[in-house]
Structure 1
Amino acid sequence: MATITAADVNKLRTATGAGMMDCKKALVEADGDFDLAIENLRKKGQKVAANRSDRESTEGAVIAVVNDAKTAGVVVSLNCETDFVGKNEGFVKLATDLAQLALNFDNKEAFLAADFNGLTVAEKLIEQTGVIGEKIEIGAFERLEGAFVGSYIHAGNKIATLVALSANVPGAEEAARNVAMQAAAMSPIALDEAGVDAATIEKEIEIAKDLLRQEGKPEAMLDNIAKGKLARFFKDNTLVNQDYIKDNKLSVAAYVKSLDKDLIVTGFRRAALG
């Protein structure tokens, strides 16, 4: 029987994030074999993950990161079950580290299969389920590329956004952040009218017509009035057409053009918990 020292327990605890008693038990069961003890903790995580597979993970941390060149970014959410865990400093750091790794991948599947300190990301999530005792999973994975990409994370890590501009002009970083903040606050459904799917447009027109009929408007007038209401829908719900939150005399598109007449917003991504 190997002698398990406090230093051994602390080393395993530092490496895995598991509780002290769990680490000691894993080392005893592994007869002091450090790698086997890690494997035992991972197996415990797999068991906990299986037991909690039907639980909702609607809390956590949403992180947006951009590469050094400011030409690509990702929004990743690390989800858990409780707000208490989601606010934990170690949990937020893990979410941030995972988001930094995610910058290297185009899709969630490749990211989950990527190496993260000797484990795949998917295995790390299972391990952390065992350590924390809650269902841990990657929720959102959104990637955006552009001539200039900026990001914004709302206080508390509940919402994060990315915005791409058509050029890296003076003031682009502040403008991209401001528009990303707009996307976080106003939750647009699309960049512009072209990005709204046909089913949504048809639904909005029908809603408008039904309301007009209830108001007693003549059937012959419904199409034209409904088109006006649809234009208002686009203004309220598409990013570039929304009133700019810091100056409602401007649309978001007009705000961006105030920096450079040719500058436009080319894309955005938004992820939120819940």
Structure 2
Amino acid sequence: MRDETKDVVQEISAKLVKQLRDKTDAGIMECKNALKECSGNIDKAIEYLRQKGLNKAAKKADRIAAEGVIAMKVSDDFTRATLVEVNSETDFVAKNEAFQELVTNVVNIGFDHNLSDTKQLMELHINNTTFEEYLKQKIATIGENIVIRRIITITCTPNQIINGYLHHNKKIGAIVVLESKDSNNRNKLQELVKYLSMQVASMKPKVISYKELDSEFVTKERVAIIAELEKENEELARLGKPLHRIPEYVSRLELNDSVLKNTEEELKEKLKKEGKPEKIWDKILPGQLERFIQDNTILDQRLTLLGQFYTLDDKKSVEQVINAKAKELKDTINIVSFKNFELGEGIEKKADDFATEVAAQMK
């Protein structure tokens, strides 16, 4: 009688062993024995190795991945953009060709399928397998844990335009969406929206406008900011340097019509005392009011995109730059949304004790 088990064992080729090794990163003999035990069934062999503690690819998933890259793709017509963060354990592996191929596939699939959810990504197919399985194979081949940490894709409406900025080190990336009332002006905003993406990447605003800030939060931050400036003034005074102005307010949220009107009256009274002719007040007051607003919106300058000083012209706020562009085009322009990815943001990196690690490997 023919021994079918013996035939299966004989059919376990080097190719089959390699396939299992690529998926698990286990040793050659470990893979061969697992396939023998499971009659050549790769899926059962993977589970067999996992139960034996020999599936190294699975073990890698427990290791912290805080390095890697940010990647971005923007459509040629500036109507869609995808931003992704793919993490590895070391910066060295982030330069690996296999890792870079993985990143390219992630951003392309995310772009093509309009993805903003990594779970959806894992369910899609690539090279006749699920992306989740493809990722496991890459982990086994590359030799480090790899995590598709986050992905976002934004598709514009007809009056919107999107562009982005990816820093040369691929550790910071940002995308911004602008909207114009006149769709004919959309293509005239390509450069501005790219510069605004650079602004977001470098200055890291949290919200678009002060209108998104909570009044209770602003009140708490005002106390902290004033204390911070007063403390810095102690050191500046010691060094004989100009002191910070201590603001009464820290956000436009606090500068209601009453506050601005009272301030204007105070400035007029000051001009009167200085003997400035009333006929020239209208030329002086706008600049003084603007300075008052700047001095009393420190929180907005730190946290809001519109309130920040423009990186390409720090004498203007982002809001002033956008308004100037709108005036030039005789249009209305608004920031719809923005997104900023910074590599490893919020990930608590493991501090490895090299001596302990070496000693563990020697056991």
Q: TM-score range by the shorter chain?
A: 0.7 to 0.9
Counterpart position of 2:89:
81
Letter in 1 for 2:207: A
Letter in 2 for 1:115: H
Counterpart position of 1:101:
109
**Larger CA deviation: 203-212 vs 182-191:** 203-212
CA displacement at 1:223 relative to structure 2: 9.5
User: Is 2:158 aligned against 1:158?
Assistant: no
Q: Highest relative contact order (Cα 8 Å, sep 6+), 1 or 2? A: 1
Provide structure 1 residue ranges, at least 5 long, that are not aligned to the other structure.
216-221
Alignment of 1:256-271 (within 5 A): 256-261=322-327, 262-271=332-341
Q: Kindly indicate whether the alpha-carbon contact (under 8 Å) linking 1:41 and 1:127 is maintained by their aligned counterparts in 2.
A: no
Alignment of 1:1-274 (within 5 A): 1=10, 47-103=55-111, 104=113, 105-146=115-156, 147-167=160-180, 169-196=186-213, 200-208=217-225, 210-211=227-228, 224-225=248-249, 231-261=297-327, 262-274=332-344
Provide structure 2 residue ranges, at least 5 long, that are not aligned to the other structure.
1-9, 234-245, 252-292, 345-363
CA displacement at 1:184 relative to structure 2: 1.0
CA distance in 2, matches of 1:65, 1:152: 10
CA displacement at 1:30 relative to structure 2: 6.0
| CA deviation string 1:136-177 (max 9, x = no partner) | 111122333431111111112111111101035343222221
CA displacement at 1:208 relative to structure 2: 3.1
Q: Kindly indicate whether the alpha-carbon contact (under 8 Å) linking 1:205 and 1:230 is maintained by their aligned counterparts in 2.
A: no
Percentage identity across paired residues of the two chains: 24
Question: Is the alpha carbon distance of 1:37 and 1:53 closer, same or farther for their aligned partners in structure 2, counting shifts above 3 Å?
Answer: closer
CA distance in 2, matches of 1:23, 1:66: 43
CA displacement at 1:210 relative to structure 2: 4.6
| CA deviation string 1:37-87 (max 9, x = no partner) | 699689979933432333211111111223454223221111110000112
TM-score (norm 1): 0.75
Which structure has the larger Rg over C-alpha atoms?
2
CA displacement at 1:269 relative to structure 2: 0.5
CA distance in 2, matches of 1:182, 1:212: 25
Question: Is the alpha carbon distance of 1:57 and 1:116 closer, same or farther for their aligned partners in structure 2, counting shifts above 3 Å?
Answer: same
CA displacement at 1:209 relative to structure 2: 5.3
CA distance in 2, matches of 1:201, 1:101: 41
SS in 1 for 2:333: coil
CA displacement at 1:12 relative to structure 2: 6.6
Counterpart position of 1:219:
none
Letter in 1 for 2:208: L
SS in 2 for 1:240: coil
Q: Kindly indicate whether the alpha-carbon contact (under 8 Å) linking 2:70 and 2:173 is maintained by their aligned counterparts in 1.
A: yes
CA distance in 2, matches of 1:56, 1:234: 35
Question: Is the alpha carbon distance of 1:64 and 1:204 closer, same or farther for their aligned partners in structure 2, counting shifts above 3 Å?
Answer: same
| CA deviation string 1:9-41 (max 9, x = no partner) | 9x979xx7999x97999689769xxx9669968
CA distance in 1, matches of 2:308, 2:144: 39
Q: How well do the aligned residues superpose, as a CA RMSD in angstroms?
A: 3.8
CA distance in 2, matches of 1:43, 1:203: 57
CA distance in 1, matches of 2:297, 2:151: 31
Letter in 2 for 1:162: I
Question: Is the alpha carbon distance of 1:155 and 1:128 closer, same or farther for their aligned partners in structure 2, counting shifts above 3 Å?
Answer: same
TM-score (norm 2): 0.59
Number of aligned positions between the proteins: 260
Question: Is the alpha carbon distance of 1:156 and 1:240 closer, same or farther for their aligned partners in structure 2, counting shifts above 3 Å?
Answer: same
CA distance in 2, matches of 1:51, 1:82: 16
